[in-house]
Each structure stands twice: as C-alpha cells, then as structure tokens.
C-alpha cells in the first residue's frame, strides 16, 4: 500500500456488538502504518448511492472499542442493484449501481471495506465484479456466513441470550411453568443451539430440524414425571413444525431481505398449553441480542479481522472476505460467501452433545 492513500469503509445490515471495534482496527492500522486517509460511508450502501461520507481520523476511532452499534450507521434496505424508491404511492426498485460506482471512484479511495453479513456480502460481491476493489469483514449475530468458522457479534449475542435463559429459570421454577425463549436466527440455528446448551434448555428448536409439537409436549411431560416442575425451551425465530411453515411477523418491501420472522414461540406456547395443560409463557429477546457492549472475545476478533483486512489491502488481494479458519485468520472469495447461508449441519458435535445430556430437538 502506498503512503497517503484513501480507504473507504461502510457497515451494512443489522447492527451488532463489535462493529466499531472492526472499524477501529482497520482505521488505526492503516493510519499508523501507512498514513492513510480513512473515510466512512454513512448508513450502509445508502451512503454509497447518495454520496454521504465523512472523515475518520485517529481521534474519531479512538474510544470506540467497547461501543455497541456502529458510528457510521447502517441499513438493511439499501441495495444499489435494487434500490427502493418511492414514486407517489408506488415502490420501485431501479438499478442505481452506476451511481454507486461513480461516487466511489470520485472519492479517490483505493478500496472499500464492507463490514456486514450475508446481504452486505452479496452486494459486495456484485460491486466487486463491477470494478470496486473490496475487502469484506464478517459480522452477524446469526453466525451464518459461509466461508468463516465464526463471525464477530455472535459471542456477544450468545451471552445475552444465555443470560436471558438463566434469568427465566427461577421464575419458571417458581410458577411451575414452561418458559419459551425465542431468539434470532431465521435460516440458521447457531444462536439458539449455543445459548440453549449454555443455558441448560430442556428443548432446543432450530430451523435445520423441523419439530413435532407432540414430541415437544412429550419432553415437557416426561420432565414432570421425573419431578421437574418447569421446562425451558430455546427456539430460533425461523423454526417451523414438520410439514408446517415459518411464522412471518411482517414484510418490509424496501429491504432486499423483506421477510421479518417472529412469533413462532407464541404459536408453540399455545400448542404446549393445549397438549399438556401446563402454564406456558413466551419471551422474545428480539433486538436485545444486538445491543450493548461487545464481549472481550468479539472485541479481540473484530480487531483482528480489521487489521487483517489492511494486510489484504496492502497485498492487493481484493474481492475477498477476511475469515476465521481454525485457530487463525485467512480469506475466502466474496463469490463463495454470496452463495448462501452457513447452516447448522445435522451431524454437528454440539447437537450430539445436547442430545447426550437429555436435550430434545422435537424430532
């Protein structure tokens, strides 16, 4: 990397703990080692389309390591190739990628660092093919990005979800209830699986294993016969019964991922009460899982991914995403990342571990 060059950064998709740590990692290394100028596009790809960006100097990125969210703002509705635009009462989706490409080039930036999840990386892959030098950094609480063993934000969300499950044990026991904890995860059950195991959930339901509500009810009743007066169920928002459908909370037409999941916990709760006559309550953790300060693990991981991105920029290795590979960091092509989510395999060791301690998956 030549001295005094410009690097652009944007953060897309849902927010999560650790984004600011990644921004800091990129910016501080590039500034200290190369004297680089750092600019940040605001509100994800909206900033690229609308040419909104600001300078990120050393002072700007200092003190943000522990800060949740993203100092640049983000969006889940901005896709330059299908850009939601209101014309009267109609919603249109023109391709404005030429504008995004022109705006990027006019900044004089050497490359664009995209911090985001699957939607952000899918757009980044197309922009890369169209000529923008791009490096991706993987973030998502769902941990479902292809090509990396883990994403930052996941550990923080597991901690939050696990604490929620922990706190519900006492009230479930006091009232002899079934408590259902609905966590995020629309196509991948990593969050429910890890927090469920960590929180000692008696039933864990994930999108990859369609459940039978009769089996879930049987697991609850079996605990009653053993003298266990309560049961805890961890369920991904994208879980569905065998032969049934997912529960859609609402549709956001402006988004390139318009389906918003939510409510499966309430559906299951009603079924359990009908089948067992046991009082059942559902708690949806929702956006609590995205907020707050990142865990130490996520701070370290996001910082490492950010500084590794600068190494790739230095070598001119664009069109790829920094990835966690075993105990180290590597890279994977954006084209591979864009092929779809990384779901929980049926033979994953943690599923067997959960089954070994008596956890039901409703199958």
Report yes or no: 55 and 37 within 8 Å, Cβ to Cβ: yes
Report yes or no: 313 and 135 within 8 Å, Cβ to Cβ: yes
pLDDT recorded at residue 267: 93
Residue-by-residue pLDDT tens, the chain, 363 positions: 566 789 999 999 989 999 999 999 999 999 999 999 999 999 999 999 999 999 999 999 999 999 999 999 999 889 999 998 888 888 888 999 999 999 999 999 999 999 999 999 999 999 999 999 999 999 999 999 999 999 999 999 999 999 999 999 999 888 989 999 999 998 999 999 999 999 999 999 999 999 999 999 999 999 999 999 899 999 999 999 998 887 776 555 666 666 657 789 999 999 999 999 999 999 999 888 898 999 999 999 999 999 999 999 999 999 999 999 998 999 999 999 999 899 999 999 999 999 999 999 999
CATH number (3.20.20.10, 3.40.50.150, 2.40.50.140, 3.40.50.450) of 6-152+294-337 reads 3.40.50.450
CATH number (2.60.40.10, 3.40.50.2300, 3.40.50.460, 3.40.50.1980) of 157-291 reads 3.40.50.460
Pull the structure tokens for residue 166: 């922990």
User: What is the rounded distance in angstroms from the CA atom of residue 154 to the CA atom of residue 198?
Assistant: 14
pLDDT recorded at residue 92: 87
Is the torsion defined by CA of 170, 175, 178, 180 positive or negative?
A: negative
142 in active site: yes
pLDDT recorded at residue 353: 97
pLDDT recorded at residue 206: 97
**CATH 3.40.50.450 boundaries in the chain:** 6-152+294-337
Number of helices (H) and strands (E), helices first, in the chain? Answer: 11, 15
Element (H, E) at 22: helix 19-34
Pull the structure tokens for residue 188: 């991948």
Give the DSSP per-residue string, 193-222: HHHHHHTT-SEEE-TTS-B-HHHHHHHHHH
pLDDT recorded at residue 91: 85
- Residue 301's nearest CA partner among 324, 332, 326, 334 is 324
User: What is the rounded distance in angstroms from the CA atom of residue 271 to the CA atom of residue 180?
Assistant: 12
pLDDT recorded at residue 186: 86
- The torsion angles phi and psi of 77, rounded to 5 degrees, stand at -115, 0
Pull the structure tokens for residue 305: 């991914």
Pull the structure tokens for residue 39: 């600019």
Q: Which of 15, 142, 144, 202 is catalytic?
A: 142
Q: What is the DSSP letter of 26?
A: H
User: What is the rounded distance in angstroms from the CA atom of residue 186 to the CA atom of residue 239?
Assistant: 7
User: What is the rounded distance in angstroms from the CA atom of residue 280 to the CA atom of residue 235?
Assistant: 14
User: What is the rounded distance in angstroms from the CA atom of residue 37 to the CA atom of residue 188?
Assistant: 38
* Predicted structure pTM score: 0.93
**CATH 3.40.50.460 boundaries in the chain:** 157-291
């Amino acid at each position: 990397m030549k001295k005094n060059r410009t690097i652009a950064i944007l953060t897309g998709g849902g927010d999560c703990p650790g984004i600011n740590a990644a921004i800091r990692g990129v910016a501080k290394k590039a500034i200290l080692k190369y004297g680089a100028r750092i600019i940040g596009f605001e509100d994800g790809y909206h900033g690229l389309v609308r040419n909104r960006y600001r300078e990120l100097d050393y002072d700007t990125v200092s003190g943000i390591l522990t800060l949740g969210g993203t100092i640049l703002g983000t969006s889940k509705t901005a896709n330059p190739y299908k850009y939601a635009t209101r014309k009267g009462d109609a919603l249109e989706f023109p391709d404005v990628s030429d504008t995004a490409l022109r705006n990027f080039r006019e900044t004089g930036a050497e490359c664009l660092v995209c911090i985001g999840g699957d939607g952000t990386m899918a757009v980044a892959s197309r922009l890369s093919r169209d000529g923008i030098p791009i490096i991706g950094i993987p973030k998502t609480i769902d941990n479902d990005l292809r090509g990396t063993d883990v994403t930052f934000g996941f550990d923080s969300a597991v901690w939050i979800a696990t604490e929620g499950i922990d706190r519900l044990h006492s009230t479930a026991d006091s009232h002899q209830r079934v408590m259902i904890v609905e966590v995020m995860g629309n196509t991948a059950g990593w969050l429910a699986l890890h927090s469920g195991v960590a929180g000692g959930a008696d039933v864990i339901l994930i999108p990859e294993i369609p459940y039978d509500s009769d089996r879930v009810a049987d697991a609850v009743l079996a605990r009653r016969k053993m003298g266990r007066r309560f049961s805890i169920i961890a369920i991904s928002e994208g879980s569905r019964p065998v032969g049934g459908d997912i529960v859609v909370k609402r549709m956001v037409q402006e988004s390139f991922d318009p389906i918003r999941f939510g409510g499966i916990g309430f559906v299951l709760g009603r079924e359990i009460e009908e089948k067992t006559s046991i009082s059942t309550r559902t708690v949806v953790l929702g956006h609590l899982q995205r907020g707050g300060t990142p865990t130490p693990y996520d701070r370290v991981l996001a910082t490492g991914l950010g500084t590794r991105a600068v190494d790739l920029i230095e070598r001119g290795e664009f069109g790829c995403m920094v990835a966690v590979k075993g105990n180290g960091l590597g890279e994977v092509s954006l084209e591979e990342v864009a092929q779809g989510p990384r779901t929980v395999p049926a033979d994953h060791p943690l599923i067997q571990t959960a089954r070994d301690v008596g956890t039901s998956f409703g199958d």
